[in-house]
Amino acid sequence: MKSPLIVANWKSNKTLEEVKEWVEKYTEESSQNDKQIIICSSFTLLSDLKNLISHKNLKIEIGAQDLSAFDSGQYTGEVNAAQIKDFANYVIIGHSERRKNFNETNQILEQKVTMARNYDLEPIFCIQGNDTYIPSGVEIVTYEPFFAIGTGNPDTPENAEEIGGMIKKKGFRSFLYGGSVNSENVKNFTSMPSIDGVLIGKASLDPLEFSKTINAS
C-alpha cells in the first residue's frame, strides 16, 4: 500500500489567530499515520505555523505558496528562496491562479524553479494538462485542471489517472491531483495507481474536514 502525499494550499486565507485555532482543533482530531502532510501558507504565517506545529509535535511539514524569481537584492516586495528556506522545505510553483492573475510565464516559472533548487526547496509544480511546460528540476507534479479549482466539480479519477500515467512515464517522481478534493472523493483519486497524493485547497481550511480527508485518503 502506498502512503499518499497530502498537500494543503491555504491560498490567501487565515490570520495568525485563525492559524492558532486551526492547529488546536487539528491536534484534537488528528491521528498518527504514515502519510506525508505538507501545509502551504502565506508568507506572513510561515514562522508562527512552524513554531505551532513543532510545539504540538505534529507530523506536518511546511511549504510556501510562491517565491521570488530573483535572489536577494533590490526587488521591493519580493520574498526570496533563501528567506523561505528558514521556515519551509517546499514551495508551490505554477498554480493556475498565479498564471492567470499575475501573468506568470514559462520563463518566470523556470526562474522560480531554479531559485527553489538553488536553496534546496522542493518545488510542487502545478500543471493544467499533459501539454503544460514543466521546467528542469521538478520532481513533484500536480495536475490541477482550471475548471475544478474551487468549483466543487473535480475532474474524474479516470482522467486524472490518464494524465498521471503520461506524466510518470516522463520520469517525474510524484504525481498529485488537485481541484475540489475533499473527504468524500479523495480515495477515488489516491487509489489510482499513478496518483501519489493530492493538493487540497478549500477542504484544508477546516481542520476537521482536513483531518477527515487525510484519514479517508
CB neighbours (10 Å) of residue 107? Answer: 11
Q: How far apart are CA 1 and CA 145, in angstroms?
A: 27
Q: Which of 97, 104, 110, 144 is catalytic?
A: 144
Answer whether residue 148 shows pLDDT above 70: no
Express each pLDDT in 159-207 by its tens digit. Answer: 999 999 999 999 999 999 999 999 999 999 999 999 999 999 999 999 9
Q: What phi, psi does 113 have (nearest 5°)?
A: -60, -45
pLDDT band (50, 70, 90) for residue 1: low
Catalytic residue among 95, 104, 110, 122: 95
With a CB cutoff of 8 Å and minimum separation 6, the contacts of 37 are 6, 7, 8, 59, 60, 61, 214
Q: What is the mean pLDDT of the chain?
A: 95
Q: State if pTM tops 0.85.
A: yes
Catalytic residue check, 104: no
The pLDDT value recorded for residue 175 is 98
Mean per-residue pLDDT, 127-148: 93
Contacts of residue 156, defined as CB under 8 A and 6 or more positions apart, other chains included, come to none
Q: pLDDT tens-digit profile of 187-200?
A: 999 999 999 999 99
In the residue annotation, 144 being an active-site residue is answered as yes
How many residues in total does the chain contain?
217
Tell me the CA distances in angstroms from 165 to 115, 123, 142, one per residue in order: 28, 20, 13
Rounded average pLDDT over 46-51? 98
